[in-house]
Structure 1
Amino acid sequence: MSVKSNHENDTSFPVAWRLNDVLEAMPGAIYTTDAKGLITFFNTAAADLWGVKPQLGKSEFCGSWRLFSPNGDPLPHRECPLAITLKEQRPLKGQEIVVERPDGTRVRLHSYPSPIFAANGKLLGAVNTLVDLSEQTMADESSARHNAIVESSDDAIIAKDLNGTITNWNLGAQHLFGYTADEIVGKSVTVLIPSDRTDEEPAILQRIRNGERIEHYETVRRRKDGSLVEISLSVSPIRNREGHIIGAAKIARDITERRKAEKQKDLLLREMDHRIKNLFALANGVITLSARSTTTAAELACMVTARMNALAKAHSLTVSREGSSEQPTTLHTLIKTIIAPYAGGPDNAESRASVIGSDITISGSAVTSFALLLHELATNAAKYGALSSAEGKLDIACQQIGEMFTLEWNESNGPSIAQPPATSGFGTMLAKATVRGQLRGEIIHDWKPEGLSIKLIFNGAGTNSHSPLT
């Protein structure tokens, strides 16, 4: 819009003085020039925007230190919007320029120059209004960052109005639920809700209308393919500039893996609790039974230590290399591990003992029971039987026929046996508990003069997960 001067119509109160007061009081940056583009007036807001005060009657077209176009190219003052307005004698609306202050900071702004004409149509000059875009720039940058964060988020971020209609849908939501934004925006959020949970949405919307936030609400939603997914849901009200609630923003996070991890953790804790209880029970049993065959604390300590070491060796056979899970082992491997300390020197640990025949897989509690049983047999052979003499030998033969498994323990070349022992020791009681109780088998002792023979007979479907050995 052109501005006409009527200086000649008011001699009592100068229009220029009155106009300058008005312009100075304006919060926006305003300045004027003559027809040649020399600055004739600027208000404080303009000087603050430029960071410098131009010289009246000398500075041309714009009071800024330097000017640039929006793309960053230098812009000569004679080519700025106000210069074009004077040249073409027409107003320009909202052309964007960048001013540089003497301290090097730059400010984006819109320029609104208009020509000023006298009553006779003569060009007197121009007036320019500068609008600082700094806040808008920050808002645009903030909005861009916000949008980038929303789109790059692995979580599903969804906006809906107070009727439950989806208005925004990010890539995280697409990955989680399977719908693209084009497929789902404009539809009701109830398409994601299973039929048995339809009462949840009205309750959520009511809480949002009341201005409440919903934090980490765990529920189930339905994907595009019909599958269900467990999610953790956070919902917040969306307000307009007046503070009125106009919708809700939802963040949904897939908690399927977390639930699996929690279940696995619970399972491990229960298993740990079970094993610790079993360990204490086993230790208590070893101490109790060992005490029956010892007379001094030193003997008890020595015997308990030896038996616990045998269990530790057996346990090491069943732990994976990573130490993270229990693995089955074989009976032959367990036998060789237990008897090795008694069967010979370190260079030829099995020179006085042999294990031949069929082999079976054992795991679980059977490993512990067999380890204790074999330890007792090996210890007795080392104390009183074939392994107590340099010439003694131990032959162990295994045979499987169908599901029945037989283990024969034969000692020879040891001390002569005059008669069977009068009392039953730990080994005998343990053998009965293991073979008859757990394996539902039989154990037969034959006290031959040339050496002890033991036959174990039990159900040997060792590779079957339902076998009593597993």
Structure 2
Amino acid sequence: MSSSFSSRSKAIADQPASAGAVAGLDVAAQAVVSAHDVLKALPEAVYMTDQAGRIIFFNEAAAALWGQRPEIGKTEFCGSWKIFWPSGQPIALAECPMAIALREGRPNRDHDIVVERPDGSRVSALTFPTPLFDIHGHMIGAVNMLVDVSHRSIAFEEAQRFAAIVESSDDAIVAKDLNGTIVSWNRGAEKLFGYTAPEIIGKPIETLIPLDRHDEEPNILARIRAGEQIDHYETLRRRKDGSLVEISLSVSPIRNRQGIVVGASKIARDITERRRAEEQQHMLIREMDHRVKNLFTLANSVVTLSARSATTAAELVSDVSSRLQALAQAHALTIAGASASATRIEQETTLHTLIRTIIAPYDGRVENQLTRANLSGPDVTISGGVVTSFALLLHEFAANAAKYGSLSTLDGRVDINGTHDGQMFVLTWSESGGPPVTRNRDGDGFGTLLGRATVRSQLGGEISREWRPEGLVIRLTVLLARLAGQH
């Protein structure tokens, strides 16, 4: 028991009194002892000082928090080994919250401090120093409670770290309540959907859902209320500008401390590029299948064409060999090269060079000049990024002409003309002198699908076919900027 408590108890015991007064003093003494026992039993750190700041009482919780036991009547203001502000700045004892409360004679509460123990461990604490006054209003000391908030600090730091991760995520992370109202919105969501947080928070999640998919939300909310998690649900959502975006959606329940579901968090990832890559991969697989199936047909066409004009076996061998070599060169234009470090090197060529290379296997040439193909118009540059796509298109034109059209006969011809039309480049492929024309020979085959996908998505243009009596006419319109590799 502190000296203050002892002296007061002794003073009470030394005073003469009647039996009734003695009984009253016994009650008072019991009250003093009871208050002392209460302070000792509190689970939070509590200590008291006299008016000069010397510690006159502390409980076991305070000793445990400090990691040491201060000396009664000598240790001043605080029993800590060292104390710091949360910023890490040391606090002098004369400037600690308890010292200021005694100096200014008023409570100095709710200060965060960091207590360092003699073993070097640290505890975050919240302080509540309060001066004590006698019945005459004279300050006789102060009491302080130190509340260990280390767990709160750790939780706060974790929350801050988690918030930073959410905010910096490239994925759209959105939270909504069980009514479907948006309550949080990160930068990833702003980038994906176009709305800023002030614009969208408080609005229904249906703002992002196309009209024909509004039935999805009630089903999602029902599953979330049941505590279910939804993973990788692929769907469409609407941006602020009205455009649609393909997303992969993961939805998880948000629970309160009692474990009750109170909302949902959504992570939306743009899968547009992935879908495009999948479509491109599928198209390339079909291309491989298409080429394998046509390999012998193309070789047979080359042999047949060569045989019609060859007069000797040696001449036939020579013609077939040169044409197969030209076909290999044309194929090489559709394959991007690689450096020593295995990085892709884009190839660049001109339109006329590309056309000559593609047509050569199906046509006799004299000193690199086409004899059955008339090439006219500007010789524009084709950048490495679109060489493959353009070569594949021209290859399909030539292959079909060799199999079905004007290049399948000795008298057939192809006129290829390029013109500028504003920002567009127009290539017209006109066949004549071939067999009777059967409309829509290509149908929905690989060549047609390749043309649509390549011309529209990569070259920013259109392709059309006209089956005239004299032969097929293909009109290919592409953006000049795309040919130059600009997007």
**Fold match, TM over 0.5?**
yes
Rounded to whole Å, the distance in 2 between the matches of 1:190 and 1:397 is 63
1:25 alignment counterpart = 41
2:110 alignment counterpart = 94
Corresponding letter in the other structure for 1:260: R
Aligned match for 2:415, one of 427, 451, 461: 461
Rounded to whole Å, the distance in 1 between the matches of 2:413 and 2:265 is 64
Rounded to whole Å, the distance in 2 between the matches of 1:135 and 1:318 is 67
| 1:330 to 1:48, Cα distance in 2 relative to 1, 3 A | closer
**Per-residue CA distance 1:75-113 (angstroms, 9 max, x = gap):** 221222222333344333222223222244443321112
The answer (yes or no) to whether the contact 1:330–1:362 under 8 Å persists in 2 is: no
2:95 alignment counterpart = 79
Corresponding letter in the other structure for 2:414: G
Q: 1:269-418 alignment to 2 at 5 Å?
A: 269-279=285-295, 311=324, 314-320=327-333, 322-323=336-337, 361=356, 363=358, 399=371
Please tell me whether residue 171 in structure 1 is matched to residue 187 in structure 2.
Answer: yes
Corresponding letter in the other structure for 1:319: A
Shift of 1:136: 1.9
Shift of 1:307: 6.8
Please tell me whether residue 203 in structure 1 is matched to residue 244 in structure 2.
Answer: no
Shift of 1:225: 1.2
Shift of 1:55: 2.0
Rounded to whole Å, the distance in 2 between the matches of 1:122 and 1:87 is 13
**Per-residue CA distance 1:186-235 (angstroms, 9 max, x = gap):** 11111111111111111111111111111111111111111111111111
| 1:329 to 1:271, Cα distance in 2 relative to 1, 3 A | farther
Shift of 1:125: 3.0
Rounded to whole Å, the distance in 2 between the matches of 1:240 and 1:396 is 78
Q: TM-score, normalised by structure 2?
A: 0.63
1:38 alignment counterpart = 54
Shift of 1:12: 9.9
Shift of 1:11: 7.7
Shift of 1:74: 2.8
Corresponding letter in the other structure for 1:128: N
The answer (yes or no) to whether the contact 1:29–1:43 under 8 Å persists in 2 is: yes
Rounded to whole Å, the distance in 2 between the matches of 1:258 and 1:15 is 77
Corresponding letter in the other structure for 2:54: L
Q: Structure 2: 5+ residue runs without aligned partners?
A: 13-24, 304-315, 338-343, 376-399, 418-427, 432-471, 475-487
Rounded to whole Å, the distance in 2 between the matches of 1:264 and 1:187 is 38
- Between 197-206 and 272-281, report the one with greater CA deviation: 272-281
Q: Residue 87 of structure 1: SS of its match in structure 2?
A: helix
Rounded to whole Å, the distance in 2 between the matches of 1:19 and 1:238 is 45
1:47 alignment counterpart = 63
Corresponding letter in the other structure for 1:96: D
| 1:271 to 1:26, Cα distance in 2 relative to 1, 3 A | same
Corresponding letter in the other structure for 1:62: C
Aligned match for 2:82, one of 66, 74, 93: 66
The answer (yes or no) to whether the contact 2:323–2:360 under 8 Å persists in 1 is: no
| 1:127 to 1:178, Cα distance in 2 relative to 1, 3 A | same
- Between 177-186 and 198-207, report the one with greater CA deviation: 177-186
| 1:317 to 1:43, Cα distance in 2 relative to 1, 3 A | same
1:347 alignment counterpart = none
Q: Residue 415 of structure 2: SS of its match in structure 1?
A: coil
Aligned match for 2:254, one of 227, 238, 248: 238
Shift of 1:263: 0.6
| 1:41 to 1:330, Cα distance in 2 relative to 1, 3 A | closer
Corresponding letter in the other structure for 2:412: F
Rounded to whole Å, the distance in 2 between the matches of 1:441 and 1:280 is 15
Provide the identity percentage.
Answer: 50
2:126 alignment counterpart = 110
**Per-residue CA distance 1:309-345 (angstroms, 9 max, x = gap):** 97356313442372489999999x99xxxxxxxxxxx
Aligned match for 2:229, one of 213, 218, 236: 213
Corresponding letter in the other structure for 2:255: R
The answer (yes or no) to whether the contact 2:183–2:201 under 8 Å persists in 1 is: yes
Aligned match for 2:162, one of 125, 146, 154: 146
Aligned match for 1:130, one of 143, 146, 149: 146
- Between 263-272 and 74-83, report the one with greater CA deviation: 74-83
Shift of 1:156: 1.2
| 1:279 to 1:54, Cα distance in 2 relative to 1, 3 A | farther
| 1:329 to 1:117, Cα distance in 2 relative to 1, 3 A | closer
The answer (yes or no) to whether the contact 2:193–2:238 under 8 Å persists in 1 is: yes
Shift of 1:280: 6.3
Shift of 1:250: 1.0
Rounded to whole Å, the distance in 2 between the matches of 1:22 and 1:227 is 68
Corresponding letter in the other structure for 2:96: C
Rounded to whole Å, the distance in 1 between the matches of 2:157 and 2:167 is 15
**Per-residue CA distance 1:226-248 (angstroms, 9 max, x = gap):** 11111111111111122111111
Q: Residue 241 of structure 2: SS of its match in structure 1?
A: coil
Please tell me whether residue 192 in structure 1 is matched to residue 215 in structure 2.
Answer: no
Q: TM-score, normalised by structure 1?
A: 0.65
Q: Residue 233 of structure 1: SS of its match in structure 2?
A: strand
Q: CA RMSD in A?
A: 4.3
Q: Structure 1: 5+ residue runs without aligned partners?
A: 288-302, 335-359, 375-393, 404-432, 444-456
**Per-residue CA distance 1:254-290 (angstroms, 9 max, x = gap):** 1111111111111011111222233366689999xxx
Shift of 1:441: 5.3
Shift of 1:435: 7.0
Highest Rg: 1 or 2?
Answer: 1
